[in-house]
Every structure is written in structure tokens, then in C-alpha cells.
Structure 1
Amino acid sequence: MNLQTVHSILLAISYSQAFQYTELAQYVDDHQEEYVEALRDWVAVESDSSNIFKRPELHRMMEMVAQKLREMGGTVELVDIGEQELPDGQTLALPKVVTAQFGSDPSKHTVCVYGHVDVQPAKLEDGWATNPYNLTDIKGNLYGRGASDNKAPVLIAIIRTSTAFMWLYFYISLPQTITDLPVNVKFLIEGMEETGSNGLDAFILAQNDTFFSDVDYIIISDCGWLSRRPALTYGTRGNCYFFAEVEGPKQDLHSGVYGGTVIEPMTDLIGILDTLISPSGKILIPGIREAVAPLSDEEWKMYQDVEFNLDHYKNETGVNQLMYNNKVDLLAHMWRYPTVSIHGIEGAFSDSGTKTVIPAKVTAKFSIRQVPDMDPAVVKKQVTDYLYSVFAKRKSPNSLKVTMVIGAKPWLADTQHPLYEAGKAAVQRVFNMDPDMIREGGTIPIARTFQDVTGKSIIMMPIGGFDDGMHSQNEKISRYNYIEGTKLFIAYLNEVAQIKSTSV
């Protein structure tokens, strides 16, 4: 969108210092197809950060983000954040981080919008009904990898907060003169979130006294609603991810020739994995449950007020029985209690067929989602000490090696902060209802890094729907969420501009 186009938009808007939400909302509705086409262009880029062979696509994606911000009139930089060391010892250039700035008036609040444009792997043969990299509109849903996580939210933030919202306020005496933004807006967009945000922590530390020095608030939109009701997110669980490797024979063995003569690594591994969690979901590692902050009466009330249907959740999940039978218990164990999940076993035979092999080395991959008041360093020691003690009791000649490869902390915000009051007001304006106040069971590590390093106040503003299938087959975002989410960002930044400076 060029400045001539913007000027024509301005002529259609009443010249006033009042917030012109109705006119802007109508403009958004009238230009839906342009926004969908912009998303189509981005979804077409296979920016899979887990696949090193897709790294050129990831670099191209970051260039596209930078170009979009330049088109909007921002001051844009592509910042080199170093290299990624691969398991074989080789190094690979990390995708550059994109930063941008719109406005620098010290008398106004400065908001930093964070997002990412890398995606999870996706292939048609995984079970997609459509090409995952060709945005497909079916009955009002826009299907494509990254459509909901996180390309649509990033586009919403860039295109709308950097165009329509920039030109909302005018001088009454000089109606054709554009004034400054009611807030200053900065952007931080990365390309490695899906694989742990490599290099971003160091960037934030290095930029704390420069890029972040004048930032008052940070907005993250990298999560979804819990139901059809709009939501504001105020907490996430952390993640401690472990490898447990059991090694025995020097090579794989034929089970007919050697079965019954050797103690098999797979048997040892399955045995120790079975000691992590009970069938009812109780974590068996000493010290884990004892560290969890107790559920307060206020939290219980908040969970009770959330719109959430157990039967619908069960149907969507495709299970016959859930771990808990009431809403509060289920939400609490989804959001603010830890859990153990076993993700897979590397080295085990997993192809179709009937290969009769005894694997020489197998590695289990499991994680513990952690919550306040758990600490990754303590969890690491608790897990490793426990598994080594369990393994020792087996008296196996095989060897065990336990390592923690991710140690992301949980994040929790104050729901009484003016940022959340502004969020509630924006949701009321756009959707004519109060938002659900929710937590996220997943992990967004950068939220805690922002909190710890910058000390800034943070809000998570979900745009995606509860049924978007993030990370799964047939990921989508509905037109409704995409377009109404556009209006929400516009309304929200106006509300943030009204926060009194004493509340910063």
C-alpha cells in the first residue's frame, strides 16, 4: 500500500481527533480479499525452521517481512544474530531478526509487537486435505501451514497497525495534515520460534539498553482462543525437554539369534519410562508436585467463569474419556499443573513391516511442562537423579545417559494491569462481549525472556480460533478471526494510548 492509497483512505474518514473505529472497521471489511492475498503469499513460503534444507526459504521469508514493513513506512533493520551449530558440528546461518519502528515521540507510550514467521513441518502425505503451502479457502476457513501459527497474526499486526492505525489522528485546523501516532510502535519478528528461538535471547540481552530502552509494553499474539469467545492470555507453562539414551550391544542384533541372550536396551528404556507417570496422570518423580504453587480461590473462580465445553473438547480431541470430568480440574491441569508427555523413541523400528531387530541404542524423548513455582535447573536434577536411581535398581549392563535439551520457564502476568484492562475494552468494542481470561498449556519461551530481561509489562492477545489445528494437519484460520482480529489490533492500540503514564 503506497502513500497515495493511504491518502485516498484518509479522504473517506471523518477528519477528527476522535478514534474513527467504525470507518476503519468498514475499511477492513471492504478490503478482506487484499488481506487474504497477502496471507496467501506468506503461506506459500515453506519457512520450516526445523529443516536445514529449507533455510533459504526461511531467509526469504524474513526478507519478505522486512519489505512489508518498509512498504508501510517503517524504519527497518535485518539484524544478524549469528549461527546455529548442527549435531554434526557444522554451522548454519540463523535467519536474521527483523526490527522496525514507527514513531518516536517520547511523550507517547511505545509498544513492541513480537511475532514469528517460521512454521512446523508439513507435507500433503501427512494427512492434509489440501496443499499445506497453498492457502485454500473452504467454507470461510483459510487452510495452510502457518495460517494461524503465526503468519496471520503477524500480518495483522504489520499491515493494520502500520497503515490504517498510523493515520487515525488529524489536526482539526489542518485536516489534510497527518500528525504523529498516538503510540509509537516497534516490531520484533523472528524466524526460529518453532525450534526454540535460537539466538533471540542473546539479541534481547544485547538490545535491552537500545531497542527496548523506550518500550513500555510488549504484545505477543502467538496463541489461540479456548472457545468461540475471544480471549486474553495471561500465562503459559514452561517446558523441560529430556533425552534418555540407553545403549547396549555394539550394533543392532537379530532377535531370533540373540533374543534371550542379551539384556535389551529397549526393555530397559520402556521400564524406566513407565516410572515417570501413573495411569491416572500422577507424576511419580519426587519433588515435582511438591513445588507447584497451590490453586488459589481467585484462580478457581476465574477458571469457573471461562467458557469451555467438556463434551465438545472431548469430541474435538477424538477420545472417549478425559483425565478429569469437570471443567475447573481439566483447565487447571491443562494450564497450571505440570505434566509428563512421552513423545517418541529414536532408534526404534517404526516403519511398516515386521523387522525383527534388537536396537543397540534407543533414545526416549519426553518433556515436563512446568508451572510456578518450578525451576528448570531443579527439575533437571530431580529427573536425572530419579532416572539414574531407577535404572540402577535394574542392575542392567547397559548404559543410561539423561540430558535436558530445553529448559524454558513458565510465564505469568498480572491480569489487573492496565494492559489487560485495555484488552478487555478492545474486545468489548469489536466483539461486544467480555473476553475469557485464559492461560496457555504450551510454552512460549520468549515471553519469560522479555519479562526477565526487559522488565516490561506483557500481554498475549490471541487471534487464532480454538479449532485451528496449530502444528497439526489442516491448520487454518477462519476469515472471521482473521478479519475481526484485524479490527481488534486497531482498537487495542487505541486503548493502550489511553493508559495513564503513571500506570506504565
Structure 2
Amino acid sequence: MGLLHIPGKKMNPRAAPYILLVISAVQGFRYSELEQHVNSKQEEYVEALREWVAIESDSSNVLKRPDLHHMMEKAAQKLRLMGGMVELVDIGQQELPDGQTLALPKVVTAQFGSDPNKRTVCIYGHVDVQPAKMDDGWATDPYNLTDINGNLYGRGASDNKAPVLAWIHAVEAYQALHMELPVNVKFIIEGMEETGSNGLEDMIVAQRDIFFSDVDYIIISDCGWLSRRPALTYGTRGNCYFFAEIEGPKQDLHSGVYGGTVIEPMTDLIGILDTLIDPNGKILIPGIREAVAPLSDEEWKMYQDIQFDLENYKNKIGVDQLMYNSKVDLLAHMWRYPTVSIHGIQGAFSDHGTKTVIPAKVVAKFSIRQVPNMDPAVVKKQVTDYLHLVFSKRKSPNKLKVTMVIGAKPWLADTQDPVFEAGKAAIKRVFNVDPDLIREGATIPIARTFQDVTGKSIIMMPIGGFDDGLHSQNEKMSRYNYIEGTKYFIAYLHEVSLIKKTSV
């Protein structure tokens, strides 16, 4: 089975017991029956997704909180009907900006099987969604799943309702055919991922020696493929998000009356923002680039082998030119080098029309996607010290305040871990190709939380397409990815069962 080794890499000895078991146990897996069952249930699966998408579980809108509670209850009920040991775990209250509190949606946990002789996998997912409305530019009602040419359009279809359902369907398939689950399966499903997973870390810490005590591997499917080739994800970048506030006059001023007489906060702000990054993408903050390990020859070879088309990428996002012209350079700067992005300026005039105002206070919002070897606490000091130094050179009477509001760490896994070998084998069985091993440029903080708190091996197993439009208009999940993804998860439960309990 050639899929069990990455060219140019030495085989991790932990993978050897897995390989021997694969050779001895493949014949006992009744995959074709499970595959046929999934094919026969396609319309039921689509209808289940339609019901979930119809619930406006927008975690950012407090007015939608009843819908979010309903969504959690619906997920719990689905798992109860399958015979799982289900709990709705109270994770407390959310404090709103006006000082009021609101109940956080309960976290759904479920367990199927508790055989101590079997591996135990824990599936993480979320069922809250980003805001969506027709006025945003949707071609279809975002909360009415619409099938167009094999694509299932709807908010949350890909992020993350279809992947969660696919895992549930995988367990259901074994049950429907009266096949014993090859591993114990646990679920942890939350409802606040899109707004920062409020309360979840405390719950994970509290459950570390209870719910997670017998878990061997934690699986996250909250990401997507890079191309049309299936992928396994082994790393994400972190995120340090900053507010840079400059305050001047006690109130907004008329530019015709006061322009030219005051030193304007907006001018100061634009001036210091311009010193963060140069036109070629080079971060100018001292110490940031120096903390990053250089791209190794092994990584270069891995990136070179990944299926990725620069022209398709440009067409997808609608640009004529990218920052880098080679696939390896682009992927490296997307995944394993830090970047600075400026997101907006609060306090600046942004409505239609004209307004001749000098804002008294403006707040820039920018982020630095960080990578392994970078520490958020160090990045905070580097950015704060640098901006104050740059600002001091302007000799402005205005006041600067720099605040880091998010300090999420990056996550990186060992691709030689047996859990990845099992993933490659499952992809080979279902899609008949070897997967790309990719990293994710975005931040999925829960992966690092699971890693740090539980000490378990983490793997990301996406089934979403590269063109699903997550967080955007016309989000979709292709019927193909949804159905074949369910088969892939079925196969994975078998493959991971082949890892000996004594091998780690």
C-alpha cells in the first residue's frame, strides 16, 4: 500500500503497527455494503441537511439565540434517536456589551460504545453559522437549501453542518446494517464557534479527565480541500488581532473650519499603519520574521507535489496579479509564514455620500496571522513597542493606545502519526487517490486548545470543496462531497480501528 509513506520522509516507527494490522484486517471490512447503503440514503441525507440549514443559528446575533438553542436541541435529538448517550452541557452565560447576560448555547456531547479494547475517537463540530441575508448578494434564500447542478446552497451547508451530519450518517450506516462500530465514537458539538467558542475551553478543561479521559484521537472537519483532490490538514496559523486607537480633539471637527490647524488623528493612524508592511508583503515589525523557521527542503518538495493551480486561484478571487508567482511561494506564505492584514478603521466616515469631518478618535483593526515559533505574548510586545516608537517620531500631541484583543495560537501536527496514516488509507479507498497534505492559513483555535488541554493527537479531515464560499455569499456543499465524504468517514472509522492500543 504505497499510500502509507510520504516520499522523502522516514517512516515514523509509531506507524508500523498500523501497517501490519492493515495487511491482516482489510478483508474483514464490509465496505461495499456500507457504500451501497449510503448511496440509497442520499435524498434522506440531503433532507436532513435542508432541515438543519433552515435553522438560522447565527451565533453573532443575540436576537437569533432562540434559533441557536433550537439547533443544539435538534442535534442532540438526532443523536438520541440513534441510541447515543447524549448530554447537553451548560457552559454558562455570555456578557453583552451593555452589561446584560445571555445564556450560551449548551454543548452537545454524545457517546457510542465504550469497549476498552477499542480505540476511541472524538468528533468535534459546530452548528452555528455566520450571518446571511438575501441583500448580501445571495442568489438563493440562504436558509432554504437549494440544489443547483449538484451543489447544495445554503448558509452553514459547508461550514459546518454537512460535515457534522456526514459523521452522524457514518455512525448510522454501521447501525443500519447491524455492524458493530469498529471504534468507540464520541461527539462534541458546539454553537459558538463563529464568535470565538465562548465557554468551550473551560468546558474542555473541566472534562479533560472525564469525557476526554479515554479518547485516543480528536477529529475536526471544519475546513476544506485546497483543490479537487481530497486533503488532510496538519496545521493552521494563529491570529493576533489588534486595535490601534488614536485620540485627538474632544469632538469631531468641521474640516473647513479646523482643517490645517489641528494634527488629525486619521492622518496619524494612516501614517503608522503604513509602517506595518511594505508593498511586497514584507512585515516591517522587528522580530516577527526572525522568529519564523525557514522553509525546509522537505517542505518545499511537499508543497511542490500539492495540486494547486495559480490561474484558477486568481480567477476564483477575481484578481489579475498575486503577491507571488510560484506555487511553492504562494502556499508557503498562505500557510507557514506570518501575514499582516488591515481590516478596517472604526470612527472614520464610511457611509454613502460626503461628510467633511475630522474624526476626533479613530481605531484601526488589523491582525497578524502567526505560525509556529511565534508566541502571542511576544508578538503583542513587538507590535505595541514598534507602533509607539513609530508614533513618537511623528511628534504628535494625539494619544495612541494599542490593544491585542485576540491571541490565538497556531496548531501543527505530525503527519507521520498513525492517525494520518489511517486518513490516507481511507481517502485511497473511497476516492482512489493519495491525498494532499495541507496546512490552513486561517485560524481554528479549538485545535490548539484540544492539543494543549487533552494531550491527544489531532487530525483535520475536511470534506468541504475549495470553492464552497465559506463565510461568503452563496455558500454551498456539493452533493458529491457530502455523500462521498460520508463514505470516507465510514472508511476512516475502520482504518483508525487498526491502530494497536499499545502503539502510542
**TM-score w.r.t. structure 2 length?**
0.93
C-alpha contact 2:117 2:501 (8 A) present in aligned 1: no
Deviation at 1:89, TM superposition (A): 2.5
Deviation at 1:168, TM superposition (A): 5.7
Deviation at 1:317, TM superposition (A): 1.3
CA distance in 1, matches of 2:174, 2:410: 33
1:394-438, Cα deviation, whole Å (9 max, x unpaired): 121211111111111100101011111100110011001100110
Deviation at 1:20, TM superposition (A): 1.7
C-alpha contact 2:380 2:404 (8 A) present in aligned 1: yes
CA distance in 2, matches of 1:360, 1:204: 43
C-alpha contact 1:252 1:359 (8 A) present in aligned 2: yes
1:114-155, Cα deviation, whole Å (9 max, x unpaired): 001111111211111111111111111111111101110011
Deviation at 1:88, TM superposition (A): 2.6
Deviation at 1:253, TM superposition (A): 1.8
CA distance in 2, matches of 1:91, 1:258: 43
Per the alignment, residue 49 of structure 1 pairs with 59
Per the alignment, residue 99 of structure 2 pairs with 89
Q: Does residue 70 of the first structure (1) align with residue 80 of the second (2)?
A: yes
CA distance in 2, matches of 1:296, 1:95: 44
CA distance in 2, matches of 1:165, 1:490: 8
CA distance in 1, matches of 2:401, 2:132: 31
CA distance in 1, matches of 2:503, 2:191: 33
CA distance in 2, matches of 1:137, 1:159: 20
For residues 270-289 of structure 1, the aligned pairs below 5 Å read: 270-289=270-289
CA distance in 1, matches of 2:395, 2:66: 49
Per the alignment, residue 350 of structure 1 pairs with 350
The secondary structure found in structure 2 opposite 1:364 is strand
Per the alignment, residue 111 of structure 1 pairs with 121
**TM-score w.r.t. structure 1 length?**
0.93
Per the alignment, residue 229 of structure 2 pairs with 229
The secondary structure found in structure 2 opposite 1:502 is coil
Larger CA deviation: 17-26 vs 478-487: 17-26
CA distance in 1, matches of 2:69, 2:265: 41
1:52-86, Cα deviation, whole Å (9 max, x unpaired): 22211111111111111111111111111111222
Per the alignment, residue 8 of structure 1 pairs with none
Deviation at 1:353, TM superposition (A): 0.8
The secondary structure found in structure 1 opposite 2:355 is coil
Larger CA deviation: 256-265 vs 193-202: 256-265
Per the alignment, residue 166 of structure 2 pairs with 156
C-alpha contact 1:116 1:193 (8 A) present in aligned 2: yes
Deviation at 1:157, TM superposition (A): 1.0
Over 3 Å counting, the alpha-carbon distance change for 1:166 and 1:375 in structure 2 is: farther
Over 3 Å counting, the alpha-carbon distance change for 1:168 and 1:371 in structure 2 is: farther
CA distance in 1, matches of 2:70, 2:400: 42
Equivalent of 1:131 in 136, 141, 144: 141
CA distance in 1, matches of 2:296, 2:28: 42
C-alpha contact 1:265 1:359 (8 A) present in aligned 2: yes
For residues 233-382 of structure 1, the aligned pairs below 5 Å read: 233-382=233-382
Q: Residue type of the partner of 1:123? A: K
C-alpha contact 1:148 1:475 (8 A) present in aligned 2: yes
1:191-232, Cα deviation, whole Å (9 max, x unpaired): 111111111111111110100000000000000000000000
CA distance in 2, matches of 1:315, 1:445: 30
Larger CA deviation: 409-418 vs 88-97: 88-97
The secondary structure found in structure 2 opposite 1:459 is strand
Q: Which consecutive segments of 4 or more residues in structure 1 shift more than 6 A?
A: none
Over 3 Å counting, the alpha-carbon distance change for 1:360 and 1:189 in structure 2 is: same
The secondary structure found in structure 2 opposite 1:442 is coil
CA distance in 2, matches of 1:54, 1:331: 38
CA distance in 2, matches of 1:232, 1:221: 10
Deviation at 1:159, TM superposition (A): 2.6
Per the alignment, residue 472 of structure 1 pairs with 472
CA distance in 2, matches of 1:368, 1:344: 14
Equivalent of 1:165 in 174, 198, 210: 174
Per the alignment, residue 407 of structure 1 pairs with 407
C-alpha contact 1:112 1:219 (8 A) present in aligned 2: yes
Equivalent of 1:23 in 33, 38, 41: 33
CA distance in 2, matches of 1:240, 1:92: 27
CA distance in 1, matches of 2:153, 2:355: 38
C-alpha contact 2:38 2:173 (8 A) present in aligned 1: no
Unaligned runs of 5+ in 2: 1-25
Per the alignment, residue 426 of structure 1 pairs with 426
1:349-399, Cα deviation, whole Å (9 max, x unpaired): 111111222112111111100001101110111111111111111121211
The secondary structure found in structure 2 opposite 1:482 is helix
C-alpha contact 1:72 1:159 (8 A) present in aligned 2: no
Q: Residue type of the partner of 2:310? A: L
Q: Residue type of the partner of 2:174? A: F
Unaligned runs of 5+ in 1: 1-15, 171-179
C-alpha contact 1:167 1:181 (8 A) present in aligned 2: no
C-alpha contact 1:119 1:145 (8 A) present in aligned 2: yes
Per the alignment, residue 442 of structure 1 pairs with 442
Deviation at 1:167, TM superposition (A): 5.7
Q: Does residue 142 of the first structure (1) align with residue 118 of the second (2)?
A: no
CA distance in 2, matches of 1:168, 1:416: 33
Deviation at 1:266, TM superposition (A): 1.1
CA distance in 2, matches of 1:456, 1:168: 31
CA distance in 2, matches of 1:129, 1:157: 29
Deviation at 1:503, TM superposition (A): 2.3
The secondary structure found in structure 2 opposite 1:340 is strand
Deviation at 1:17, TM superposition (A): 9.1
Deviation at 1:160, TM superposition (A): 2.1
For residues 460-499 of structure 1, the aligned pairs below 5 Å read: 460-499=460-499
> For this pair of structures, how many residues does the alignment match?
479
Larger CA deviation: 428-437 vs 243-252: 243-252
The secondary structure found in structure 2 opposite 1:98 is strand
Q: Residue type of the partner of 1:165? A: Y
Deviation at 1:165, TM superposition (A): 2.4
Over 3 Å counting, the alpha-carbon distance change for 1:203 and 1:94 in structure 2 is: same
Q: Residue type of the partner of 1:288? A: I
Q: Does residue 37 of the first structure (1) align with residue 34 of the second (2)?
A: no
CA distance in 2, matches of 1:251, 1:165: 66
Q: Residue type of the partner of 1:145? A: R
Deviation at 1:278, TM superposition (A): 0.5
C-alpha contact 1:450 1:456 (8 A) present in aligned 2: yes
CA distance in 2, matches of 1:403, 1:90: 24
C-alpha contact 1:324 1:330 (8 A) present in aligned 2: yes
